[in-house]
Structure 1
Amino acid sequence: MWLWVLAGLLLILISTPGDVHAEVVSSQAKSAIPLWYTRAEAKYGVHWSLLAGLDVYGATTKPPAGVTRPQGVPMFISGYRFSQHEWQGLFNPVENDLNAKRIRLFDGRGVDGDQDGKADQNNPYDRVSAIAAWLRQGGPTEQDQSNELWKQFENGTSVERILALSHVFKYFGTTQLNERMFPVHKRYSYSYRDTWGEGRNFGGRRIHEGTDIFASYGTPVLSTCYGYIELIGWNRLGGWRIGLRAADNTYFYYAHLSAYARGIRQGVIVRPGQVLGYVGSSGYGKPGTSGKFPPHLHFGIYKDTGTREWAFDPYPLLKQWERKPQTVINPPKKEANIQPKRPVT
């Protein structure tokens, strides 16, 4: 039973190429894609990146009623899971049935993905093959398969995030996108302390959900992860802000910017160290308000439960990332930095 788990873990630990362009998957990158995804893609015609995106979302959000998830295993093994009734068939009389033929007889989702005679949801080959078979029922295109996701989740935000995460995996050609980087250029002067939970009054009494990193106007602000720009534009409290969702479904919030780097817009895929914008003092008012406080980056981290997002203290992680090497990816010099002329929602 553990042989396929160990084999999958070895594949997950293989290194990732440093520069993979959109839609191009090198042979080295392919070795970093767990085999259960590529085998399911070959058999069912569902792109491995969509399967990986669904697994990340399933593993990082609260499971629906009737779904149990193993603890302490990597997200690409835990992944998205069916309820036991969905897996074995609603009227199947055998509790926790693993018999692939009987499961098929009772119209269950379970599939024997590795041809061992069992349909075991704790086996990633079986689980991912079952997901691919289900999505393929909708049709051969990504739109067809996203329609199946809509039917299952009945939540537009969930489906949009699954598809966006899949596009990140597809762009970089690997599931190994775990790198983190300090969000302010370390060659500039900056300072910060743990300000989590401190009181704030503007906009009503509330607590501070993040860490303030003080730096001079124009200090480059960097992507801390592989991911995509989920939100960008004006926020009454945060001013010119960016919402960045990482490949592991963690949400990073950058606030009080003075400007965005050229080319940074909603939906853009980014990597660690890429310049997103520049430190400022925007916010606490209508669009364009600035200077109500010293320039700094407000940096927040949020976890998605599937129904809401909750913040946690970024300070301990910032101290870890600060000690790591930092490679900065600057925007092209010939392209000027711009600030939106109107709010983007």
Structure 2
Amino acid sequence: MACVSSAFVLFLLPFDDLGAMAATSADKSVDTGMYEKRRLLYESIALKSGLDWHFVAAIDQYERTMSRAHPKTRPISENAVSGVYVTESDWSGDLNPETNDSNPSSIRFFRGIGRDGSGDGVADRRKDEDALFSVAAQVAKQGSAEDDLAIGLWEYYHNTRAVQRVMQFVMLYRHFDRLDLSGNAFPLPLESTYSFRSTWGNSRGWGGKRIHEGTDIFANYGVPVKSTCYGVVEMKGWNAFGGWRIGIRDLNNLYHYYAHLSGFDKKIKMGDIVRPGQVIGYVGSSGYGRPGTQGKFPPHLHYGVYRDRGLVEWAFDPYPLLRRWEREELKSLKASKH
């Protein structure tokens, strides 16, 4: 059920891929009314399932990121409040002759996961309440303690990455206690001296034949590097290619990668929650060698973005995003001065 392989494969796609564009801008188009509808839905499902609403929200958000990444195989209505998608066979049961079964009793007999979450006596997989309650109930089968829920997530998704993502989203929702975490920031102070252009796909010379998977922002040593998003610090340390680097996962299931740093903010550690504009490190020229290697190229920030699709992780060109965040921040600064 909802089996997503834990195999990790990296794909590189140009930013004009429609799926990538939708993935990065989806939450910016969500209005306040939709967040209110989601919050009411999560609180309702929380009461019925015995789960914390933050946990219900995290499951739904992970499902939403998968539905956005696979719109052809996980079609969701544009007006849907929930992002959950369940196949007909999983919903009704593999041996159920009625593939569109909506009778809770017969679904249960054939061991389908479909449940009546709205209380109308019908288990309709196209209904937000029913779909989300059904998945939440599956995950909660082992119990409502944190470890039990992690086991429940594994048994539903059969994917350690899915378990990690949901638990990261739970952390974010609990920390901020709200659903709207869609703000962004440009990764360097606008008052600093910097320059960048699109370097997506350029060839790289060190470490074998490969292409550039992000945008280089050239700046002086020690210029603060800021988080571009609300997220969880997923990776921090040395990488032979990226030097001192840090990786942050946001609620859109995007992995923001900051490389070639001269150092990290002293308070930042793995598992920390960050917000847009928070300093996480400093521009440097580390990398292309053993831990501590510096100066093999001019100081700059390498910024990359990767999208988790469950089966694969793929990179796309972050240059348009950086330009947009730069413009938005400049516009906000000008408005604040008037």
| Structure 2 length-normalised TM | 0.82
- 2:67–2:74 CA contact under 8 A, matched in 1: no
Unaligned runs of 5+ in 1: 1-8, 17-29, 329-345
- Hey, what does 1:156 align to over in structure 2? 160
Distance 1:289 1:257, change over 3 A: same
Mean alpha-carbon deviation: is it higher for 281-290 or for 175-184? Answer: 175-184
Aligned to 1:306: 310
Q: Do residues 121 (structure 1) and 139 (structure 2) align?
A: no
Amino acid at match of 1:51: V
Change (3 A) 1:33 1:224: same
Query: Could you say which residue in structure 2 is the equivalent of 1:69?
Result: 74
| Cα distance between partner residues in 1 of 2:180 and 2:68 | 24
Relative to total residues, which structure has the larger helix share, 1 or 2? Answer: 2
Q: In structure 2, which of residues 250, 266, 273 is the aligned counterpart of residue 269 of structure 1?
A: 273
Contact 1:62 1:306 in 2 (8 A): no
Aligned counterpart, 1:238: 242
Out of 146, 152, 158, the position equivalent to 2:150 is 146
Looking at structure 1, the residues matched to 56 and 47 of structure 2 have their Cα atoms a distance apart, in angstroms, of 12
Q: Please report how far the alpha carbon of residue 62 of structure 1 lies from its aligned counterpart in structure 2 after TM superposition.
A: 7.4
Q: 1:188 and 1:75, CA in 2 relative to 1: closer, same or farther beyond 3 A?
A: farther
SS at 1:77's partner residue? coil
Matched, 1:254 2:258: yes
Higher relative contact order (CA 8 A, sep 6+): 2
Change in Cα spacing, 1:182 to 1:283, as seen in structure 2 (3 Å) is same
Structure 2 distance, partners of 1:117, 1:307, is 35
Alpha-carbon deviation of 1:37? Answer: 1.1
The answer on 1:187 being equivalent to 2:191 is yes
| Alignment-mate amino acid for residue 317 of structure 2 | D
For 1:75 and 1:303, how far apart are their aligned partners in 2? 22
Find the counterpart in structure 2 of residue 57 from structure 1. Answer: 62
CA drift of 1:101 comes to 3.9
Give distance in 2, aligned partners of 1:76 and 1:191.
Answer: 41
Gaps (5+ residues) in structure 2?
1-26, 334-338
Offset of residue 154 of structure 1: 2.8
Q: Compared with structure 1, are the counterparts of its residues 63 and 71 closer, same or farther at alpha carbon in structure 2 (3 Å cutoff)?
A: closer
Is the aligned partner of 1:317 residue 2:333?
A: no
- For 1:321 and 1:64, the matched residues in 2 are separated by 23
TM-aligned CA deviation for residue 156 of structure 1: 2.2
Contact persistence 2:67–2:75 (CA under 8 A)? no
The alpha carbon displacement at 1:235 in A equals 0.5
Match of 1:47 among 40, 44, 52: 52
Structure 1 residues 19-69: Cα deviation after superposition (integer angstroms, max 9, x where no partner): xxxxxxxxxxx957522211111122112222222223233237999x942
Change (3 A) 1:197 1:172: same
CA distance in 2, matches of 1:113, 1:89: 18
CA distance in 1, matches of 2:314, 2:297: 26
Partner residue of 1:165?
A: 169
- Shift in Å at residue 187 of structure 1? 1.4
In 2, Cα distance between equivalents of 1:227 and 1:149: 21
Which residue matches 1:137?
141
Contact 2:80 2:128 in 1 (8 A): no
Q: 1:91–1:72: structure 2 CA closer, same or farther, 3 Å change rule?
A: closer
Give the Cα separation in 2 of the matches to 1:179 and 1:155: 29
Give the CA deviation at 1:247: 1.2
Which residue of the other structure, out of 7, 17, 31, is the alignment partner of 1:13?
A: 31
Bigger shift: 167-176 or 211-220? 167-176
| 1:229 and 2:233 aligned | yes
CA–CA distance in structure 2, aligned partners of residues 119 and 172 of structure 1 = 33
Q: Is the 8 A contact 1:32 1:174 kept in 2?
A: no
Choose 319-328 or 128-137, whichever is displaced more.
Answer: 319-328
2:256 aligned counterpart, secondary structure: strand
Q: Which residue of 1 aligns with 2:283?
A: 279
**Quick one: structure 1 residues 241 and 186, their matched pair in 2 at CA, closer, same or farther if it must change by over 3 Å?**
same
User: Contact between 2:67 and 2:76, CA under 8 Å: does it hold in 1?
Assistant: no
